[in-house]
Structure formats: structure tokens, C-alpha cells
Amino acid sequence: MNAWRYESETKTIRTVPGNHWVASMDSFEGALNHDKNATLIALAPELLHVLKLAAAYVGKGVADHAFDGCVISGEKALETIENTIRKAEEG
């Protein structure tokens, strides 16, 4: 898994390891949640990794009928997770 980090001093998102530039977070004066947005973007690779783990967990639960009777069906949850992963990987 490739990791990114946000450097507030330079307002850049960089790779870990390697320290390669991914994006700059310069914006207009007074932008709201600038640091929080940058932190969320920097966490994207880790969030995708966790989403893939969740897909495996939910997929096993669907196969075992562990979600029968839940408010949202396991199949619908898995479909939503898989669609989100596909969007992240295909752009």
C-alpha cells in the first residue's frame, strides 16, 4: 500500500516513503477546512485499503448469510463498497 502524508508547512501532499510530490493544497485566502481536506486526501490510499478489507469481510458475511434480516442487505452493502473501489481505481 502506498501511503501519503500532508505537510502543513509546505501545503503539499507527499508520498511515504520517497517524499515525492502528489498535490499542492494552495487555495484562495479564507478557504474553509483547508488542513482537514488535505489530511483526508492524504489518507486516500489507506482508506481504499481499508475499504478493500471491508469488502472481503462483507463478502464473507454475504456468503455465510450473516446479514440476513439486517436493515441494509449484505448484497447491497457489498455492491456499494465494490462500486466505490472501482471508482477509486478506475478514476
Predicted pLDDT at 24: 80
Predicted pLDDT at 65: 93
Q: One-letter amino acid identity for 76?
A: K
Cell of 49: 485499503
Residues 9-43 have pLDDT tens digits of 888 888 888 888 888 877 666 666 677 778 888 88
Rounded distance between C-alpha atoms, residue 31 and residue 65, angstroms: 47
Predicted pLDDT at 29: 66
Residues 42-70 have pLDDT tens digits of 889 999 999 999 999 999 999 999 989 88
Rounded distance between C-alpha atoms, residue 88 and residue 73, angstroms: 23
